[in-house]
Amino acid sequence: MEKLIVDKKYDNKKLSKIVLDEKKEIHYPLFCKLLRKKDIKVNGKRVNKDIIVYDNDEIILYLPEQKKEDKVIQIIYEDNNILVVNKEAGMEVTGQNSLTEKLRGQCKEREKINPCHRIDRNTMGLVVFAKSEKALQIMLEKFKNHEIEKHYLAFVYGIPNQKSKRIKSYLFKDNKKARVYIKDEFEKGYQPIITSYTVLEKRRNNTALLDVEIETGRTHQIRAHLAYLGYPIIGDGKYGKNEINRKFKQNTQLLWAYKLKFNFQKNSDILTYLDSKEIILPDWQNLIKGREF
């Protein structure tokens, strides 16, 4: 429970104004949730609207207990235009209780940030956010035009015969089944995908660590494409194999978005300074330590 007494400077102002100003840990989505649940009292009465408050009014906020899993999101890189963070597994990039919502709530100055791309709910690693509409439009164009390299680390079952390979296939997204399907040849409804991999390490028990780069960013592309090629990601419950996941005691796909490289070819306006820059997940080598299966 938190208590506020309305100061003269907030007289005849909206409830949200004083709450968001005086309680930095409360972001706007949380404020709206408190209203919906009637977890705010003004002068002893529960309210569900953003009402006007007056000098010396008493406000009581019944805040939810912070869950242990609600960790501070790790910021990997930040400047005046973009923000790059490390997403944990189990979190959507957008939507309710998402990475975007949590990041906006983590610091009030980031209320207007927007993601420039997405990674799967259980994929971990780097996600880029824009701090302004102009930066967002530039970044969206760069991702669309493949001017940003996206590299992933993947632990797979099976060892590729070739050290490096670039594969073009076709992907169909079945929205009803919430999964995708891969084919070698084009068929109606299928979209082209290009996935490249380099074997970083060959490990015991028929496992390998791959650096994976995608030139197209289709839903579940890496997971489905590698599984189709015979190298399912360990821990992947949808495209992997249950017996393999049980064997290695993994219930979350071992896939990290660990490196971004900006290779701008066209005008980049306010983001020109990012050209040729690499952003790498710090201590990424530690991700693979202790996984000698």
Give the domain CATH number at 24: 3.10.290.10
Residue 111 lies in a domain: no
Pick from 71-85, 227-241, 251-265: least confident: 71-85
Q: Measure the CA–CA gap between 257 and 116, rounded to whole angstroms.
A: 14
**Structural domains counted in the chain:** 2
Q: What is the DSSP letter of 161?
A: S
Kindly indicate the confidence band of residue 172, based on its pLDDT and cuts at 50, 70 and 90: very high
Predicted pLDDT of residue 289: 62
Structural domain contains residue 50: yes
Domain presence at residue 212: yes
Q: What is the pLDDT of residue 29?
A: 76
129 pLDDT above the threshold of 90: yes
- Predicted pLDDT of residue 227: 97
pLDDT band at 255 (very low <50, low <70, confident <90, very high): very high
293 within domain boundaries: no
Nearest in space to 132 (alpha carbons), one of 113, 118, 115, 116: 113
12-16, 247-251, 253-257: range with lowest mean pLDDT: 247-251
pLDDT computed for residue 108 by the predictor = 61
Residue with tokens 């009014």: 57
Average pLDDT of the chain to the nearest whole number:
91
Has residue 275 been placed in a domain? no
Question: pTM for the complete prediction?
Answer: 0.73
Boundary-marking domain end, from 61, 78, 94:
61
At a CB cut-off of 8 Å and minimum separation 6, what does 115 contact?
93, 94, 99, 100, 127, 128, 129, 130
Residue 186 has pLDDT above 60, yes or no: yes
Domain assignment present for 292: no
Q: What is the pLDDT of residues 48-107, one digit of tens each?
A: 999 999 999 999 999 876 554 456 788 999 999 999 999 999 999 998 889 998 888 876
pLDDT at position 38 is 94
Length of the chain (residues): 293
Q: What is the CATH number of the domain that holds 180?
A: 3.30.2350.10
Q: Tell me which residue range forms the domain holding 217.
A: 150-257
Residue 24 has pLDDT above 80, yes or no: no
The Cα–Cα gap between 270 and 126 comes to 22
Max avg pLDDT among 21-30, 227-236, 279-288 = 227-236
- Which of 30, 61, 92 is the C-terminal boundary of a domain? 61
Residue 162 in domain: yes
Structure tokens that stand for 84 in this block = 């790059």
User: Does residue 196 surpass a pLDDT of 90?
Assistant: yes
In this predicted structure, what is the pLDDT of residue 275? 96
Look up 120 and say whether it is catalytic. Answer: yes
**Predicted confidence band of residue 235 (pLDDT cuts 50, 70, 90):** very high
Residue 207, helix vs strand vs coil: strand
List 11, 50, 57, 120, catalytic entry: 120
pLDDT for residue 204: 81
Report the candidate in 248, 153, 232, 151 with the shortest Cα–Cα distance to residue 200. Answer: 153
Single-letter residue type at 148: I
Q: pLDDT digits over 90-100, tens only?
A: 999 998 889 99
| Residue 9 belongs to some domain of the structure | yes
pLDDT at position 69: 46
Region 22-50: what's the mean pLDDT? 89
pLDDT attached to residue 288: 66
